[in-house]
Structure 1
């Protein structure tokens, strides 16, 4: 394609013509103002390109008639001879005579001093006369001196009074000055200043830049930012001017051009030493002058929409009002409120159109018009699913908390999507309503919920680690196939490798079993425990049904119930034999647990409370059946003192009824002490002890803890006091409490805080450590 100029000349020809004219102009200028340039040497490529293509050898050309005959041309040329021009026979004068004649002519015309003689013409060694060099006098002594040898020539650089401001490569410092906004007591302008300061490139640079050009670029960007900020608050006629000043004089506040050198200052009469700092080194001042102009307000609000049910649905949920300033954040928030509210009230296909605001510059009024397409009012219908499926449409319907015929509510659709995400089986998943056109009565129609699945990797490897004084290092890992037995049938292999505990177990888990949020588990595991209180080899099988919270899906009400069969070989101190003996215990037990969770976060709560009750009826199958019951209740609360300080406390009370301590397996007794109990003491170190000062456990327990949690950014500091005791009897007496105090550090991650606590016991007893350390994930409670 050939582009053309306005005159119709092809652009490539026009460019060539322009280049030729420029070349001609340059040549003419050289001829008039500069000595002749050296001859141009063509390259081979240029010469070959200039050669015309020769005709073929056998080409025959027609005869060409001459424009004028030779004889006629010769007659037209005048003869050249001494008769016609006598000066042709005059011999050429020498250069010296020419110079002398020119000097005489200058005197006669007043160009030289009267009475002066023409300057003598210097001569070279061979006696030939030469003309003078420029305007220099030919008798200049300095010119007559011989040139110094090259090795002795000293070239001193020219020194200026101060460096040029045009040096853009030097690092500079600067300050920022914004003029035109109201004082800080004006809340509106204070908000403008804060918003500008948060986004400003100049403020973000912390007063330093690589060069002055960078400061100018930031100043230009901030001018555009200021215009946008003002417009966002209703100042559509604002004027923003910028300038870059450099301090001049003693105060360093004077103005200066962007490029140029300053005149050195002189000392004032008072004797004050002037500022001799070169301007290049003085800080710049980036100045933004703002004239906000008038602020536009809403004179009328027009919502262009069809009637809704109820009729005032849009009006009641549209927060803008006539007379308030046109603030972009308020306008966008009002439109978002409508876009969210309509789908919650049965309008899944409602869309908010493009707003129109008509401004009147004379009055400062704005007429706001918003078109809204509400779409058909709808009710929930059936389900469809597509994509790479993790499970079928029947299981999707089981997860939904709505039934066919209910008025559409986008919050229930979002709840279904969140439940699908919580399964952990999807790379991506979406839930969207689809029009059917089927009437549902009452001027509504059914919508089909389309679930688009993209199944993700079903296998997971997980690991965790912890450390506590008295229980040592504990490493736990697991392998999970989350959908080995669809829908949501998982197989979990779990292992523990610790200094005092080792275990291996297999679990089958069916999530959302028969109803949403219900989990069924079958468990088989073997473990070895080696603590000061007891050493045990244990095998366990169990079944459990539960509704529990997870980091993704925290529930307000939780429960669990199940059955356990336990076979364990454990050693215990026999006071009659005054030695440790080993016994085998066979235990059958039921488990029931109920929890209420009103906290705001599972791993890092900052407000609310939690209550959990546990009841475990059990019995020994060795010999005659001996029933007993283990009961425990835990209560914790969280109170935010400020945005960064939280007070937290907890209480635990437990009791075993129906059996003596000696008839209980050591692993089924109550213990206290450690990172999840009373910090400052080793694991299971509180309560009754044998003659070897080893804990033997008890039939009741009470614990309490208070923490002050201070968070700054992703880090935190915690101070705490813990208290607790274990008793031989089945009723806790709350006497002889032992206390531990300490301090902890927290590192907050996206999945929960990492915890490091250091504590020491108060009134330390023989055998108790001075300092205990605990490392884990999540808060202590």
Structure 2
């Protein structure tokens, strides 16, 4: 019985994380508020959890919090009592309290402790508002005295001489308020505004708990809705927020100024002199006179950032319309460093280790052309089942090239050539390969690539050795509506390949390969903390028998990229001696529940199924299954993935578990 461990490490200079920019709306405090102090604008708060002691190791603020203490540090203990509140309210109050969250960082002197306590009154009132409590009271005592007592500094110093200063915060949240009358008015006419989101979508339904965070969120949604409708200068000019303490209702009236409807005007490009003239302009694809849309600008920015030579795209909207009602737009483009070098390493207890070094150029001839050269050495780590006397060392030297705009701005030339030696349990291959073609982008979501696939190889497997000349014409279709490449929260992805072969092994003309993968993602909440992700993949080679297909072109299932918990390639057909030979078809499916525990930590329960088959079409009676749990650490460039998987119906040669580490989600 074996355990599978796989890890990967990739290092390269010049890796940048995109910084999100946006606007935050502030809610006006309701009238008739308690006299404990003015509240700061309510904010959404992260909830503490039982995992805090563990996940603090991944907290980016941990080092700052554990730095040197303040001079004349004043240690204290804090007791927070929420009378009549539930656990969620207590968690919200504790998360908002600086006295609680910073208790391991004592303030400087008595004055520092008093300042922290006085600031906490406003923090806690904000947390009460955010949870729908507008008549609460906060009673705070330092060493048994009010923080604004005339001699409070002397009292604190005297208490400190006896040990940590005791601090007690007692909160009476009062009754929970509910939404009453909700009005969305035109700021100019004071009449109801047409074409606004429903109150249910705004989360402002009368009778529902009156969370201040919902009021803030609704303000942003109203502005966003108008901007999507072509009003770039939409804003909420005022809010009337009234808490009626007799009825325990919160009435809210938004006064909204839509501003004029606009069209796109002239686009001005700055900073793109590192590219050929007109490169950016040819790819804007927004004609003057097109109705204004922030989504169109987002798609444009994302499309331009897809070119490796471009580091950032800042979009500036003019502060007023031109006389014809159009909105001028300025694009500020910044380049990335042209050249880069790096290295990567992978390790697996079952399918070997590899070290890769690479050099690349992001703007080879000034037109956004990319070139990358890779040199990799690998070690299989154990004897190949099919070729036990084979040298376990492999190599791969490859070059990848892309030239944008080969025919039109939507057509790119792509090519990859390699010389390699590959060692697996099923075969050992020495080959020269070339794939070259043109990729056409129909839209930001849909593209089709037509290529020429050439391979000349010498392959050893369980049946001996053979020389293979392969000529194919693959059609690669991709459709992607997801919002993030490494960590999607919504949308779908499809990648399919149809490749007829002029010659494939000993089969002659006629064989055709088809394979496809479809994945979908759905977030159950606006913060994308609960995501259900699913993936299905399948493929077949028809028009050729199993042994007419070269071993390297057969299908194999097993490992971190397909069926977690099983050895690499192991869920695949074997011959009479039990040696892997691969299949003519395959099927895989996975489902994951991606749950964010904190802003940086997530857990992912998952279930995988799949197998390769000797038949032309999948035989679901021979399916393998696995399940497991994953840990995610979310970074600026994507989630770091750690998955632990267990096979559910293992064979006698399968391991007991698999452990996988990589950057990005599993799919």
Do the structures match in fold with TM over 0.5? Answer: yes
What is the Cα deviation at residue 591 of structure 1? 0.7
Paired residue for 2:119, among 221, 224, 246? 221
Tell me if the contact between 2:609 and 2:623 (Cα under 8 Å) persists in the aligned partners. Answer: no
SS of alignment partner, residue 280 of structure 2? helix
- Between the aligned partners of 1:630 and 1:462, the Cα distance in structure 2 is 35
- Between the aligned partners of 2:103 and 2:396, the Cα distance in structure 1 is 56
- Between the aligned partners of 2:132 and 2:623, the Cα distance in structure 1 is 65
2:471 matched to which residue of 1? 588
Tell me if the contact between 1:467 and 1:775 (Cα under 8 Å) persists in the aligned partners. Answer: no
- Between the aligned partners of 2:144 and 2:654, the Cα distance in structure 1 is 70
What is the Cα deviation at residue 756 of structure 1? 4.2
- Between the aligned partners of 1:488 and 1:388, the Cα distance in structure 2 is 11
2:314 matched to which residue of 1? 430
2:546 matched to which residue of 1? 661
Once the two structures are superposed, residues 22-43 of structure 1 have per-residue CA deviations (whole angstroms, 9 ceiling, x without a partner) of xxxxxxxxxxxxxxxxxxxxxx
Correspondence list, 1:136-285, <5 A: 171-176=75-80, 183-184=84-85, 196-205=93-102, 215-225=113-123, 243-244=141-142, 246=144, 280=162, 284=166
1:403 matched to which residue of 2? 287
Tell me if the contact between 1:468 and 1:683 (Cα under 8 Å) persists in the aligned partners. Answer: no
Greater relative contact order (Cα < 8 A, sep 6+): 2
2:49 matched to which residue of 1? none
- Between the aligned partners of 1:224 and 1:629, the Cα distance in structure 2 is 69
What is the Cα deviation at residue 669 of structure 1? 2.1
Once the two structures are superposed, residues 178-208 of structure 1 have per-residue CA deviations (whole angstroms, 9 ceiling, x without a partner) of 78xxx548x9xx97x7765432233335599
1:85 matched to which residue of 2? none
- Between the aligned partners of 2:258 and 2:309, the Cα distance in structure 1 is 36
- Between the aligned partners of 1:701 and 1:507, the Cα distance in structure 2 is 29
* Mean CA deviation greater in 447-456 or 768-777: 768-777
2:437 matched to which residue of 1? 544
What is the Cα deviation at residue 709 of structure 1? 6.0
SS of alignment partner, residue 510 of structure 2? strand
1:526 and 2:423 matched: no
* Mean CA deviation greater in 492-501 or 689-698: 689-698
- Between the aligned partners of 2:506 and 2:132, the Cα distance in structure 1 is 86
What is the Cα deviation at residue 397 of structure 1? 3.3
SS of alignment partner, residue 626 of structure 1? coil
- 1:511–1:302 CA distance, 2 compared to 1 (3 A): same
2:651 matched to which residue of 1? 764
Correspondence list, 1:446-485, <5 A: 446-485=326-365
* Mean CA deviation greater in 649-658 or 207-216: 207-216
Tell me if the contact between 1:385 and 1:450 (Cα under 8 Å) persists in the aligned partners. Answer: yes
SS of alignment partner, residue 627 of structure 1? coil
- 1:749–1:718 CA distance, 2 compared to 1 (3 A): farther
1:487 and 2:376 matched: no
SS of alignment partner, residue 555 of structure 2? coil
Task: Give the TM-score, by structure 2 length.
Answer: 0.66
- Between the aligned partners of 2:400 and 2:160, the Cα distance in structure 1 is 78
Aligned residues: 563
* Mean CA deviation greater in 464-473 or 329-338: 329-338
2:611 matched to which residue of 1? 724
Once the two structures are superposed, residues 306-365 of structure 1 have per-residue CA deviations (whole angstroms, 9 ceiling, x without a partner) of 999xx9569889989999999976776566456545544444456666x5979999x999
1:616 matched to which residue of 2? 499
2:266 matched to which residue of 1? 382
- 1:454–1:305 CA distance, 2 compared to 1 (3 A): farther
1:76 matched to which residue of 2? none
What is the Cα deviation at residue 281 of structure 1? 6.2
Correspondence list, 1:62-73, <5 A: none
- Between the aligned partners of 2:510 and 2:314, the Cα distance in structure 1 is 52
2:510 matched to which residue of 1? 627
- Between the aligned partners of 1:771 and 1:326, the Cα distance in structure 2 is 48
- Between the aligned partners of 2:609 and 2:210, the Cα distance in structure 1 is 56
Tell me if the contact between 1:546 and 1:561 (Cα under 8 Å) persists in the aligned partners. Answer: yes
What is the Cα deviation at residue 432 of structure 1? 2.8
Once the two structures are superposed, residues 129-172 of structure 1 have per-residue CA deviations (whole angstroms, 9 ceiling, x without a partner) of xxxxxxxxxxxxxxxxxxxxxxxxxxxxxxxxxxxxxxx99855
Once the two structures are superposed, residues 616-635 of structure 1 have per-residue CA deviations (whole angstroms, 9 ceiling, x without a partner) of 11132889953311222434
SS of alignment partner, residue 302 of structure 2? helix
- 1:184–1:224 CA distance, 2 compared to 1 (3 A): closer
- Between the aligned partners of 1:279 and 1:623, the Cα distance in structure 2 is 90
Tell me if the contact between 1:469 and 1:772 (Cα under 8 Å) persists in the aligned partners. Answer: no
- Between the aligned partners of 2:323 and 2:76, the Cα distance in structure 1 is 72
- 1:561–1:304 CA distance, 2 compared to 1 (3 A): same
- Between the aligned partners of 2:496 and 2:222, the Cα distance in structure 1 is 44
Would you tell me which structure has more strand in proportion to its own residues? 2
SS of alignment partner, residue 670 of structure 1? coil
1:54 matched to which residue of 2? none
2:32 matched to which residue of 1? none
1:565 and 2:466 matched: no
- 1:775–1:453 CA distance, 2 compared to 1 (3 A): closer
- 1:735–1:392 CA distance, 2 compared to 1 (3 A): same
CA RMSD between the two structures? 5.4
Once the two structures are superposed, residues 232-255 of structure 1 have per-residue CA deviations (whole angstroms, 9 ceiling, x without a partner) of 9999999977544549xxxxxxxx
Would you tell me which structure has more helix in proportion to its own residues? 1
Once the two structures are superposed, residues 458-493 of structure 1 have per-residue CA deviations (whole angstroms, 9 ceiling, x without a partner) of 333454443344421133443332222333221222
Correspondence list, 1:600-611, <5 A: 602-604=485-487, 610-611=493-494
1:677 and 2:562 matched: yes
- Between the aligned partners of 1:697 and 1:358, the Cα distance in structure 2 is 68
Correspondence list, 1:7-86, <5 A: none
What is the Cα deviation at residue 284 of structure 1? 3.5
Correspondence list, 1:333-348, <5 A: 336-337=220-221, 339-348=223-232
What is the Cα deviation at residue 509 of structure 1? 0.7
Paired residue for 1:754, among 626, 636, 641? 641
- 1:512–1:410 CA distance, 2 compared to 1 (3 A): farther
- Which has the greater radius of gyration? 1
What is the Cα deviation at residue 427 of structure 1? 4.2
Task: Give the TM-score, by structure 1 length.
Answer: 0.58
- 1:432–1:529 CA distance, 2 compared to 1 (3 A): same
Paired residue for 2:168, among 286, 294, 298? 286
> What runs of 5+ residues in structure 1 fail to find an aligned partner?
1-167, 248-255, 262-276, 575-579
What is the Cα deviation at residue 499 of structure 1? 1.5
Tell me if the contact between 1:219 and 1:286 (Cα under 8 Å) persists in the aligned partners. Answer: no
Once the two structures are superposed, residues 411-453 of structure 1 have per-residue CA deviations (whole angstroms, 9 ceiling, x without a partner) of 323332333333343444322344898654xxxx334332222
1:503 matched to which residue of 2? 396
